[in-house]
Structure 1
Amino acid sequence: MKSNPVYVFAVHAAFVAMSIAALFPFLLLVAASFTDEQAIIEHGYALIPERFSLDAYAYLFSNSVMIMRSYGITAFITVVGTTLGLLITTLIAYPLSRNILPFRSFISFFVFFTLLFQGGLVPFYLVYTDLLHMKDTIWALLLPNLLTNGFFILLMRSFFSLSIPGEVVESAYVDGANELTIYYRIVMPLALPGLATIGLMLLISYWNDWYNGLIFINDGTLFSIQNLLNRMLADVQYLQQNNLSGQAAAATSVPISTVRMAIAVIGVLPLIAAYPFFQKYFVKGLTIGAVKG
């Protein structure tokens, strides 16, 4: 049966329109970051800058040493956190997908319970500062996101249950493989689409995380890139609003509107660069938990 050409054209046109609508804000963001501050004040935001300017990036990279160190911290946290997050998530999710696990339903409910109820900010802060003594340490940026992935555990459990054939596991048992061998040599290679999906989510959460740095980190040498850029922007706004003598003149010369845009561009570019490497598996992983015919 041939497809109706009018219908095919309409579908393609709709997807092109949605793609343009999704891409337009980012293009406007990039264009604004290269626009002169006064041009934005006079003419507003536009895809083609009224007057081209690199003032925003010049201001940011006047602190290039701090930015590069923060990039390094963020990259380290993202790589280590994503790797450990995938390991812990799969080590919990795979046993939960097996019917032979004792107390399987209770453990699954315990994981699900953490999605519905949390202790709140004060207990969260006290546990990591007074009990675990992680204030102003690199662990404060790593562990909180690592240990709050109940949704990812349930997602991977569904993937293991629906996508890993039980016959494959049983045949491995017959051949004398133990649980660790089955997990490492059979289950993990078959779970690449699910791992890529969860890995991308973990990567984004670690790269964009600013909240843990805000409440746990006061040491400037441990700022992630998100915390550093937000702190730089907050400092400029503070000087402008309070009109502090001497420093106010320097602050008023900072292109505050375009700096905001440049901060967003610098923060998002590494994620855009990383996405093509995940796309092949991410599309497959979108069907985790879907009903199969």
Structure 2
Amino acid sequence: MAEVKRKIQDFHHVSRGWNIILNIIAAAFSFICIFPFLFVVIISLTDEKTLATDGYRVFPAKWSLEAYRFVFQSGDTLYRAYGVTILVTVIGTIFSLILMSLYAYAISRKSFRYRGFFSVFAIVTMLFNGGMIPTYMVVSQLMGLKDTLWALILPLAMNAFYIMILRTFYITSVPEAIIESGRIDGAGDFFIFLRIVLPLSLPGLATIGLFSTLGYWNDWFSALLYIDNPNLVPLQSMLMRIESSIQFIQNSKNSSLSMAALQTIPQDTTRMAMVVLATLPIIFAYPFFQRYFVQGLTLGAVKE
């Protein structure tokens, strides 16, 4: 027995040389993943004329903050758009997790009589939808959500694909014996879900929460359809309007006006600056969800 354990330890043991090589490979792979975003940041900080003459370089000859000055010239509009996007993302993610986790838990339990019907109902919505015009009529006219923040939240609150992921996670990761033991002790369904199922489901909920967060943060189409009030325009929609303004000036038939305006507008660097402004805040969401990933690995162990 001792010999078997020693061979297993030798099999899993990595020599110091291989450990260094593997760390170098991991570091190189990490750098390859991070470098595109770093390069976008570098381009956004490059002087527009230098970019036009020298092209894209990692170490530009001249640095400039003109692109960010141009974007921030919108003043309160940019900060208001950030606030709207953050509010919609936070409320929408929480709301989505509540709805989808409850729905997925119900259809994951064999004791639920209508689990088959509601599973098929969710799957059908993945294959068919009413179309853009009926959806617009329902949201804006039937529900009366036009020019409200709920128009940015409710259309993305439910996702059938995420529901199926959570349903599979509940089935494979939440033992039926734990739920039965809770019922034997007299616990109700909501108590079991809140005190037993949710602690066991943190990795799955964190994954779906991250997907929902990215969906809400990057959503611009809902604002295009339902928002006319400039005070409710989210960040992505506002940045698209800035981009459209630049393209309008570029395509202007009045060439003298176009050339005069383009000389004062940093074009390529402004686009990169908008990418940085739209991407940088969402990066901070990853460590938050990663913390729950790590916690979920150690929670909910079944005692025998």
Give your verdict on TM over 0.5.
yes
Which whole-Å deviations, capped at 9, do the CAs of 1:94-140 have from their partners, x for residues lacking one?
Answer: 11111100121221122112112222223222322332232222222
Counterparts of 1:97 and 1:55, CA distance in 2: 54
Worse overlay, 249-258 or 76-85? 249-258
Q: Secondary structure at the match of 1:21?
A: helix
Counterparts of 2:138 and 2:58, CA distance in 1: 47
Query: Could you tell me which residue of structure 2 aligns to residue 53 of structure 1?
Result: 64
8 Å CA contact 2:227–2:233 kept in 1: the answer is: yes
Query: Could you tell me which residue of structure 1 aligns to residue 300 of structure 2?
Result: none
The one-letter code sitting in structure 1 at the alignment partner of 2:289 is: F
Q: Secondary structure at the match of 1:242?
A: coil
Residue 121 (structure 2) pairs with residue 117 (structure 1): no
Query: Could you tell me which residue of structure 1 aligns to residue 103 of structure 2?
Result: 92
Worse overlay, 100-109 or 263-272? 100-109
8 Å CA contact 2:107–2:119 kept in 1: the answer is: yes
Worse overlay, 195-204 or 181-190? 181-190
Counterparts of 2:32 and 2:62, CA distance in 1: 25
Q: Pick from 210, 219, 236: which aligns with 1:226? A: 236
Corresponding residue pairs, total: 285
Worse overlay, 221-230 or 182-191? 182-191
Q: Secondary structure at the match of 1:133?
A: coil
Report the CA distance between 1:12 and its aligned residue.
Answer: 4.1
Counterparts of 2:16 and 2:123, CA distance in 1: 47
Q: Secondary structure at the match of 2:31?
A: helix
Q: Structure 2: where are the runs of 5+ without partners?
A: 1-9, 298-304
Q: Structure 1: where are the runs of 5+ without partners?
A: 287-293
Q: Based on CA coordinates, which of the two structures has the bigger radius of gyration?
A: 2
Query: Could you tell me which residue of structure 2 aligns to residue 235 of structure 1?
Result: 245
Counterparts of 1:282 and 1:61, CA distance in 2: 36
CA RMSD of superposed structures (Å): 2.2
The one-letter code sitting in structure 2 at the alignment partner of 1:211 is: F
8 Å CA contact 2:200–2:296 kept in 1: the answer is: no
Worse overlay, 197-206 or 215-224? 215-224
8 Å CA contact 1:197–1:281 kept in 2: the answer is: no
Report the CA distance between 1:86 and its aligned residue.
Answer: 0.3
| Percentage of matched positions with identical amino acids | 41
Query: Could you tell me which residue of structure 2 aligns to residue 215 of structure 1?
Result: 225
Counterparts of 2:15 and 2:132, CA distance in 1: 56
Report the TM-score, using the length of structure 1 for normalisation.
0.89
Residue 176 (structure 2) pairs with residue 153 (structure 1): no
